[in-house]
């Protein structure tokens, strides 16, 4: 599958930049999985700090409003700027050419201003111009990032859910690393977001015969597996490379290979390995991919993994396949769960956003009900005269 990746705002730009880096590095042998990647921001410094997205693919918007200094976590301002300048983004996309992409992926941190407010407006604009599906990757703030972040996130998630073909959730709270610098922690989270996509996008685009699986997952499979709120799961197991497919093997050795393929799918679908914690039973559809050395991709084990997902998801609609990687030292399982009706962190953020909105209303009413200072002065005048 070929994605046009668009990073909106600071967090979105960083992740899009990592997509571009992987596309030119680790994923180069997979084929052209990210033919177009751009970054859009109201803050000039954030765009200048990117490393892999070419400068011509960095779009600065809102200069009339904020002079290149960002929106200051103002969600409404981010939306207003994007509504007025989305045509500049579409012009940049047209100049790069999107005729060969299968879908668009907009990435944003939903707690800030530019990404939170701007991404929903840009999703709607792109959908008006293109027939391909438009997905949003929504990065949730951590719990300690404040009430305003939760309020912005609630508004952004509701807006994205209305316009995007699917909203892929990534919860920062799951991936925070203690004892590391802010830069190291963010890099770890960003890599965790991007890494599974190589196994998701690569199987249908690789042209090397040694990398074509028995059952190839192509763009159509992925598109038909997205919908509603979605999460990605990832698990990895190192394998012994001494396995010889021409050697007579006993049942225990075959069982080990089968168990590895089965267990890596079950592990990828477990709450701790998902981009946002949820129960696999709350999903309507699923897609699974098992990747690794060809001799270790056991058909029976892969079918066992598929059966596990079919028994778990609501509709039992499960697609899947294998992705041979001859030089790999691990078996990797990637699971996409979609149409999820209960993502606890999303529910928590929506509740916090509603509470914050209620508090704002109370403050506004209290301010309106305050006694005017002129009334105090009238009451105090007689007292002042006595002094």
Sign of the Cα pseudo-torsion (244, 247, 252, 255, in order): positive
- Whole-number pLDDT of residue 374: 54
- Whole-number pLDDT of residue 257: 82
Of 256 and 198, the one with more pLDDT = 198
Is 248 a residue whose pLDDT tops 90?
no
344-368 residue pLDDT tens: 999 999 999 999 988 887 777 666 6
Map tokens 């790069």 to a residue: 96
Sign of the Cα pseudo-torsion (208, 210, 214, 217, in order): negative
Name the nearest CA neighbour of 166 among 351, 337, 359, 350: 337
CB 320 within 8 A of CB 215: yes
Q: Domain boundary at 298, 316, 338, which?
A: 338
Can you tell me the distance from the alpha carbon of 188 to that of 200, in angstroms, rounded to the nearest whole number? 19
- Residue 348 covered by a domain: no
42-56 residue pLDDT tens: 999 999 999 999 999
Is 382 a residue whose pLDDT tops 80?
no
- Whole-number pLDDT of residue 174: 83
264-307 residue pLDDT tens: 999 999 999 999 999 999 999 999 999 999 999 999 999 999 99
Check whether residue 183 and residue 264 sit in a common domain: no
- Residue 215 covered by a domain: no
Check whether residue 11 and residue 134 sit in a common domain: yes
- Whole-number pLDDT of residue 372: 55
What average pLDDT does the segment 125-133 reach? Answer: 97
Map tokens 């807006």 to a residue: 159
Check whether residue 9 and residue 114 sit in a common domain: yes
3-8 and 103-109 as β-strands: parallel, antiparallel, unpaired? parallel
Cα-to-chain-centroid distance, residue 29: 23
Is 169 a residue whose pLDDT tops 90?
yes
Q: Is 85 left (phi over 0), alpha (psi -120 to 50) or beta?
A: alpha
- Residue 85 covered by a domain: yes
What average pLDDT does the segment 248-267 reach? Answer: 73
CATH code of the domain in which 101 resides: 3.40.50.1440
CB 4 within 8 A of CB 104: yes
Can you tell me the distance from the alpha carbon of 289 to that of 45, in angstroms, rounded to the nearest whole number? 38
Check whether residue 43 and residue 189 sit in a common domain: yes
- Residue 364 covered by a domain: no
Which residue range forms the structural domain that includes residue 74?
Answer: 3-202
What whole-number percentage of the chain has pLDDT above 70? 89
Least confident of 52-66, 224-238, 341-355, 360-374: 360-374
Is 175 a residue whose pLDDT tops 90?
no
- Whole-number pLDDT of residue 229: 97
Check whether residue 140 and residue 257 sit in a common domain: no
Q: How sure is the predictor about 253, in pLDDT bands with cuts at 50, 70 and 90?
A: very low
Least confident of 132-141, 212-221, 227-236, 254-263: 254-263
What average pLDDT does the segment 185-204 reach? Answer: 89
Average pLDDT of every residue of the chain: 89
CATH code of the domain in which 296 resides: 3.30.1330.20
How many structural domains compose the chain?
Answer: 2
Report, in angstroms and rounded to the nearest whole number, the Rg of the chain calculated over CA atoms: 24
CB 20 within 8 A of CB 34: yes
- Whole-number pLDDT of residue 181: 76
Cα-to-chain-centroid distance, residue 276: 10
Check whether residue 190 and residue 43 sit in a common domain: yes
What whole-number percentage of the chain has pLDDT above 90? 73
CB 321 within 8 A of CB 213: yes
């Amino acid at each position: 599958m070929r994605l046009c990746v668009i990073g909106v705002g600071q967090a979105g730009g960083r992740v899009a930049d990592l997509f571009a880096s992987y596309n030119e590095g680790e994923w180069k042998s997979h084929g052209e999985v990210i033919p177009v990647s751009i970054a859009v921001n109201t803050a000039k410094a954030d765009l200048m700090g990117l490393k892999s997205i070419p400068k011509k693919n960095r779009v600065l918007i809102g200069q009339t409003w904020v002079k290149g200094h960002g929106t200051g976590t103002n969600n409404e301002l981010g939306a207003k700027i994007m509504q007025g300048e989305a045509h500049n983004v579409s012009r940049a996309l047209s100049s790069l050419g999107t005729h060969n992409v299968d879908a668009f992926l907009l990435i944003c941190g939903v707690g800030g201003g530019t990404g939170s407010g701007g991404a929903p407006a840009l999703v709607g604009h792109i959908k008006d111009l293109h027939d391909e599906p438009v997905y949003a990757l929504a990065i949730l703030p951590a719990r300690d990032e404040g009430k305003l972040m939760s309020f912005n996130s609630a508004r952004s998630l509701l807006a994205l859910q209305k316009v995007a073909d699917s909203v892929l959730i990534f919860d920062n709270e799951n991936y925070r690393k203690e004892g590391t610098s802010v830069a190291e922690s963010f890099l770890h989270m960003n890599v965790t977001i991007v890494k599974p996509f190589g196994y998701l996008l690569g199987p249908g685009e690789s042209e090397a015969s040694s990398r074509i699986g028995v059952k190839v997952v192509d763009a159509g499979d992925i598109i038909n597996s997205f919908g509603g709120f979605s999460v990605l799961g990832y698990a990895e197991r190192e394998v012994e490379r001494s396995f010889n497919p021409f050697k007579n093997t006993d049942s225990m050795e075959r069982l080990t290979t089968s168990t590895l393929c089965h267990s890596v799918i079950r592990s990828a679908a477990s709450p701790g390995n998902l981009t946002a914690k949820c129960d696999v039973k709350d999903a309507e559809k699923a897609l699974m991919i098992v990747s690794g050395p060809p001799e270790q991709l056991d058909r029976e084990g892969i079918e066992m993994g598929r059966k596990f997902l079919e028994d778990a998801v609501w509709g039992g609609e499960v697609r899947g396949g294998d992705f041979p990687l001859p030089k790999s030292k691990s078996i990797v399982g990637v699971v996409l769960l979609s149409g999820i009706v209960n993502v606890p962190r999303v529910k928590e953020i929506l509740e916090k956003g509603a509470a914050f909105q209620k508090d704002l209303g109370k403050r506004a009413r209290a301010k309106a009900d305050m006694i005017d200072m002129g009334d105090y002065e009238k009451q105090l005048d007689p007292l002042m005269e006595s002094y």
